[in-house]
Amino acid sequence: MGKTSKDKRDIYYRQAKENGYRARSAFKLLQIDKVFHIFDGVSRVVDLCAAPGSWSQVLSKRLYENNCISMSENNLDKDDVKIVAVDLQAMAPINAPICVKQLQGDITQLSVANEIIAYFDDKKAQLVVCDGAPDVTGLHDIDEYIQSQLLLAALNITTHILANGGKFVAKIFRGKDTSLLYSQMRVFFKKVSIAKPSSSRNSSIEAFVVCENYSPPDNYVPQMIDPNTTALDKNIVPFVVCGDLGNLDSDMSYSLISDGKYEYKEVLQKPISPAYKEILEKTKNLSLKHQNYLLKETH
């Protein structure tokens, strides 16, 4: 879809153009950093769902600035600072000040996690950011649900690639399930906050989870399924069978009492307003043959 006149008037849209950013979202990450200092002490970062690349541009610039002093003091090279950007879409290259390694792929794939770790020379990231958004349908409940699934996919790959103590920042749609998502993040991170940068429109339900101090549960083994399934499986609810083998089996058929004295009893409480009430009304004065005929017709 082309830019609307509203986008053109937007101050962050104009500032993004003036500052050479590919999208206005750059300011969201910069404003989150102002409060949470997410880039401090970080030299390995992953940008999930990165295209067209404004967050990667911010990462390249800010990691260069932040690491400049330590580079000269510790004889570090620019190549020791590493940024990986992943997206389904191709993205124009970012080569300076820090080169961004691009992986065109799906964040739900284990192979993507492995490629990231390989690029980091088998080290893990200290920060993972994700501005992922599925194509919106315009149906709020569905959009919210799909966004939450993308966020869980981002959390999942993060459990493969983030070092203990690391940070995770990701887009969330504030809806009915926000508390549940918050609890799911809390399983893995000591501190979780929800941030709304001023560059994110007030009219949008978009916000960002800022998760600090990655500390997965003991013995947690990352897998490419919902991370909470594996993290929480030690809390399986006990399943208790009641009764013994001598009791009647509810899946079996038993014959009626065979002494011929079987007497039919009506059910104690019939449904007050059964779905078949209308057809009973219609057929009550008909013969059994006609009732059966009508029932067959209505099915």
Which of 12/283 has CB closer to ligand SAM? 12
| Helix residue spans in 108-258 (DSSP H) | 110-119, 140-161, 178-186, 227-231
Candidates 10, 80, 106, 226: give the one binding ligand SAM (CB under 6 A): 106
For residue 261, CA distances in Å to 56, 64, 213, 257 come to 83, 92, 74, 8
Q: Could you say whether residue 194 binds ligand SAM (CB under 6 A)?
A: no
> Which of 16, 59, 107, 162 forms a contact with ligand SAM (CB under 6 A)?
107
Size of the site for ligand SAM (CB under 6 A): 22
Q: Which residues contact 191 (CB under 8 A, 6 or more apart)?
A: 211, 212, 213
Instruction: Pick the closer one to ligand SAM by CB: 80 or 115.
Output: 115
Q: Which DSSP helix (H) or strand (E) runs through 15? A: helix 11-18
Which helix (H) or strand (E) segment is 283 a member of?
helix 277-283
Binding mask 148-187 for ligand SAM (x = CB under 6 A): --x-------------------------------------
Distance (Å, whole) CA 151 – CA 182: 11
Of 176, 210, 160, which Cα lies nearest the Cα of 28?
210
Nearer to ligand SAM, 69 or 88 (CB): 88
- Residue placing its CB nearer to ligand SAM in the complex, 54 or 102: 54
98 near ligand SAM, rule: CB under 6 A = no
| Least distance CB 22 / ligand SAM (angstroms) | 6
Q: Is residue 171 annotated as part of the catalytic site, yes or no? A: yes
93 binds ligand SAM (CB under 6 A): no
Measure the CA–CA gap between 225 and 157, rounded to whole angstroms: 10
Q: Which of 28, 82, 167, 171 is catalytic?
A: 171
Least Å distance, CB 249 to ligand SAM, is 47
Q: How far is the CB of 183 from ligand SAM (least distance, A)?
A: 23
CA 114 vs CA 103, 104, 200, 275: distances in Å: 11, 14, 33, 56
Q: Of 23 and 71, which has the nearer Cβ to ligand SAM?
A: 23
134 scored as a contact of ligand SAM (CB under 6 A): yes
Judged by CB under 6 A, the chain residues 6 through 35 that form the site for ligand SAM are: 22-23, 25
Stretch 32-61: interaction string toward ligand SAM, x if CB under 6 A = -----------------xxxxxxx------
> Which of 210, 155, 192 has its CA nearest to residue 29?
210
Neighbouring residues of 192: CB distance < 8 A, sequence distance ≥ 6: 182, 185, 186, 209, 210, 211, 212
The answer to whether 168 and 182 are in contact (CB under 8 A) is: no
Q: Is 132 in the site for ligand SAM (CB under 6 A)?
A: yes
What is the nearest approach in angstroms of ligand SAM to the Cβ of residue 233?
25
100 by DSSP, 3-state: which? strand
Work out whether 131 is an interface residue with ligand SAM (CB under 6 A). Answer: yes
Q: Are 134 and 107 within 8 A, CB to CB?
A: no
Beta carbon nearer to ligand SAM, 25 or 67: 25
Residue numbers at the binding site for ligand SAM (CB under 6 A): 22-23, 25, 49-55, 86-89, 106-108, 131-134, 150
Positions marked active-site = 171
